[in-house]
Amino acid sequence: MKEMTANDDSERFGTGAAKYAAYLETPEGRLRLDLAFANLQDFLPQSTRSLLALDIGCGTGAVAVRLARLGLHVTLLDESLPMLDFAERAAREAGVTERIALNMAMPPSSQTCSPPRRLM
């Protein structure tokens, strides 16, 4: 059996972003998101208007968009540019771009860093 590395994960999420986003549109994917978000909401205070959230490994931004709809300001962090593209599109379609900031994370093996990518 081949051992998985951080580079394998990075490549998988870079090339598989569209496949993962399509999965999240299936009944199983929506149920997975709904259950995870329902559990998260149990821990949120009633008033979320001034809260900040950090979504590490944000993927398609599905959870971040839901948090932004509740009024939170959310910073999304992912090392996959294709995933951030999906997250940016989701925020724009949901009308929450003013509450979302996208940032590219660098994989552990990287020696350079890039400036934050922000929605305008």
If phi > 0 it is left, if psi is from -120 to 50 it is alpha, else beta; for residue 53 that is beta
Look up the CATH number of domain 7-42+49-108: 3.40.50.150
Tell me the domain boundaries of the chain: 7-42+49-108
Model confidence, pTM: 0.74
Q: What is the pLDDT along the chain (120 residues), one digit of tens a residue?
A: 556 555 555 566 667 888 988 999 999 999 999 999 999 888 888 876 789 999 999 999 999 999 999 999 999 999 889 999 999 999 999 999 999 999 988 766 654 555 555 554
- Residue 89: the pLDDT is 96
Question: Quick check: 114 and 102 in contact, CB under 8 A?
Answer: no
Please report the pLDDT score of residue 78 as a whole number.
92
Whether residue 112 contacts residue 106, with contact meaning beta carbons closer than 8 Å, is answered with yes
Q: What is the DSSP letter of 118?
A: E
Residues 6+ apart with CB under 8 A from 37: 63, 66
Q: Which helix (H) or strand (E) segment is 117 a member of?
A: strand 117-118
Place of tokens 């300001």: 73
Cα–Cα distance measured from residue 31 to residue 37, given in angstroms and rounded to the nearest whole number:
10
